[in-house]
Structure 1
Amino acid sequence: MKPSVQIAKREIAQLFSSKTTFIFAVILPFVSILFFNTLLSDGVARNLPIAIIDLDHSSISRNVISQLESSPELEVSYFPLNEQKGEELIRLGKVYGLITIPQDFEVNLKKGKQVNIINQYNSDLILAGGLEYKAFRKVIGTISAGINIEKQRKQGISTQQAIVNFQPLTTNNHVLSNPFTNYSYYLNTGFLAMFFQLFVILTTTYCFGTDLKYNKGNKLLSIANGNLWSIIVGKVLPYTLWFMLVGVIMLISMYVWQDFPFHGSKIGVLVGLLLLIIANQSFALLIIALTNSFREALTIASGFAAVSLSFSGITFPIFGMPKFMQWLSQIFPFTHFFELLLDQSQRGFPMFYSLKSIVILVVLCIVPLTLGWFKLKGLFIKGKFKHHI
């Protein structure tokens, strides 16, 4: 029996006998898939409660309220008697905005006067406040355009010309990140992949670390006839295959069950997924080689995986970071896999443009293991970590 096969069978047996390894490799990945696919299932915030004070009670003011109610982002929940009671609703968190329609609203509009509709919202709640403000601007802009165009038509101007007169300049927007403006599409893609690679690196660190913690390095080296490569292949390959299966299920949960948009190469994404797994396993081995104890290795491995989220461009674009941080972001496998995943799913880029990410992932599979090879070999010859804690 080849040493690597013997070690692989031993590793599979340990997977089911070790509660911690089983939790890292089996339980937590599926819990995270279920959790994140449920958390942002709607994708976009809807029916944000607002309050309206109608001081005019005219047909036009009722039309404004009807238009606001028809907006999918807003839900008119309160009609306070005065501004003080409305502001109290905002402070209590019962509503995200207070809209006040002034007296003589209809009369002043018919006289051709400019009328102000007051919108008060809580900007401390950046997401909810921003969506309320955006929806309010959209509704009021549409109503204003209708009034202006109708006024011009009464003067004998054609509808098409009235539209041009009202808005001589138009915009052609191209959203580069999160083009569907759907939080589920964008955030779930990142969070699911980030937690997936966290479990990969922790499982790898744990399965190697436990042997070295309990002074079993010599035994493994003896089984492998002194060949470190046989140990690595035997211990890593079962988890590589398992996490590849988990990763495919993760992708299916997004792009099949939840019907996330996908416009690129499926093969390219699967290759990137495999390289993400191997790269994180390679970094786990480097961390084990450079640390002095099992606890230290797990701490650094979890920190490395968690910090990769900040350097991936999800929370802050990479091109906006200082140059040093931009270069530092390139050492994290997750940065390149996330870029590949977005390019091939939401952006629909040809696979040619993702080759750079593939090449860098290949390099990140090789370099960490190469850097830690001799120290890792010495660690297995010694049989244990420097410290036992």
Structure 2
Amino acid sequence: MKSFLHIAKREFGLLFHNKSMFIFAVILPFVSMLFFHTLLNNGVARDLPIAVIDLDNSSISRNIISQLDATPEIMVSYKPTSQLEGEALIKELKVYGLVTIPKKLGENLNQGKQVSIINQFNGNLLLPSGLENKAFKKAIGTVSAGINIQKQLKQGVNLNQAKANYQPINSNNHVLSNPYTNYSYYLNSGFLTLFFQIFVILTTIYCFGIDLKFNKGEKLYNIGKGNITTIILGKIVPYTLWFLLVGLVMYFTMFIIGDFPLNGNKTVVLLALFLLITASQAFAILFLAISSSFREALTFGSGFAAIGLSFSGITFPIFGMPKILQLMSQLFPYTHFFDLFLDQTQRGIPVFYSFNSIVFLVVLTILPILISFRKLTRLLKKGSFLQRI
């Protein structure tokens, strides 16, 4: 117990007096919270600039432009006079879409002919182009409905019947989990917790690695009286407690200040945070044990945490990946944490259905420690990494 307290007291001192440790564990976590909450402050992108080429210049074309401008997602910012000028605006990223209204649009519509309005957008920019295309379809659908209904009214059809004739089947949509379609609720949940994991891993690697880099591993081994369990706990428990506090602040910014949905079990949400910290620390210890240098351990840790974003399903759904990658995704603690987090915040499903994620996080906390135990023992006895970099 004395050995544990001696090591833990030393680590608490390093947390606030070691410059690199202070940056990893104190400065960067709070900077990342401020950055991401500021970046996605509005939740949903608004007034994305688009360009409209009006070759018809009729009352109907002007109405179409007004409808486009009225949608909250887009704003008509440019009115180029040629197709080349409009496409240049897209290539220069000055606009996210180019709408071309053809000649004789009003005349053809009055004659009962079908017309086409061209919408061009940059498919490489998934989010803005998706919003632009959605807003375009909504605006054109509104204009088309108005024209169709007006024609029926002129033929003596009453208003209700005209609406029913135009759209005999009406959709009744229910958005689950995120009814406001607020991008901050989903993306910030991912980015904040991912960067939180990165800081946990790097801090853990640093707290062990700095001793091994300067040949102090043997001294640490002697302080712990050769008990590796005491040494591991003495080194990581102070940072576990610290990052629990940081995680609670992160939750406060999300659920209290940011008003993120919290529809599930609050205790499980806290458990998920604790398991993410411990699993991340376990993998950090594994990377230390298998590395030949301090730099290599940091490289392994940062790379592992960054790749975890791709395997979590945020950027691409896991079930759409090849089978081998689906299996690999289960090796990342962040995959199970994020699934558990969404279950108990946005989806609000019973805890029973999140049990697998909890079990995986517990296993991914224990397994890396077991794998690295003997190698870490030899490393501490030796006192330093193979390479002094």
TM-score by structure 2 length? 0.92
Q: What is the CA distance between 1:317 and its match in structure 2?
A: 0.7
- 1:381 matched to 2:381? The reply is yes
Matched AA of 1:353: Y
Deviations 1:133-187 (A, max 9, x none): 2211110111111221232344344444433332344555566786643322222
Check the 8 A contact 1:308/1:335 in 2, yes or no.
yes
Partner of 1:147: 147
Deviations 1:46-86 (A, max 9, x none): 11222333344433333222211111112122233444443
Partner of 1:263: 263
Deviations 1:228-276 (A, max 9, x none): 1111111111100000111111121122112222211221111000000
Q: Quote the Cα distance in structure 1 between the aligned partners of 2:129 and 2:20.
A: 43
Partner of 2:278: 278
Q: Quote the Cα distance in structure 2 between the aligned partners of 1:327 and 1:383.
A: 36
Deviations 1:198-233 (A, max 9, x none): 110111111111112222222222222221111111
Matched AA of 2:4: S
Q: Quote the Cα distance in structure 2 between the aligned partners of 1:300 and 1:84.
A: 48
Q: Quote the Cα distance in structure 2 between the aligned partners of 1:66 and 1:317.
A: 37
Matched AA of 1:67: Q
User: Where in structure 2 are there 5+ consecutive unaligned residues?
Assistant: none
Check the 8 A contact 2:52/2:76 in 1, yes or no.
yes
Q: Quote the Cα distance in structure 2 between the aligned partners of 1:7 and 1:113.
A: 82
Question: After the TM superposition, which of the residue ranges 336-345 and 253-262 deviates more from structure 2?
Answer: 253-262
Partner of 2:304: 304
Matched AA of 1:262: L
Cα distance, 1:335–1:247 mapped onto 2, change above 3 Å: same
Matched AA of 1:232: I
Question: After the TM superposition, which of the residue ranges 102-111 and 190-199 deviates more from structure 2?
Answer: 102-111
Partner of 2:31: 31
Partner of 2:326: 326
Q: What is the CA distance between 1:110 and its match in structure 2?
A: 2.9
**1:102-117 alignment to 2 at 5 Å?**
102-117=102-117
Q: Quote the Cα distance in structure 2 between the aligned partners of 1:270 and 1:124.
A: 37
- Per the alignment, in what secondary structure is the counterpart of residue 123 of structure 1? coil
Cα distance, 1:372–1:119 mapped onto 2, change above 3 Å: closer
Matched AA of 1:319: F
Check the 8 A contact 1:292/1:385 in 2, yes or no.
yes
Partner of 1:220: 220
- Per the alignment, in what secondary structure is the counterpart of residue 325 of structure 1? helix
Partner of 1:163: 163
Q: What is the CA distance between 1:387 and its match in structure 2?
A: 2.7
**1:1-389 alignment to 2 at 5 Å?**
2-171=2-171, 180-389=180-389
Cα distance, 1:174–1:378 mapped onto 2, change above 3 Å: farther
RMSD: 2.2
Cα distance, 1:86–1:284 mapped onto 2, change above 3 Å: closer
Name the count of aligned residue pairs.
389
Identity over aligned residues, as a percent? 63
Check the 8 A contact 1:179/1:346 in 2, yes or no.
no
Cα distance, 1:125–1:235 mapped onto 2, change above 3 Å: closer
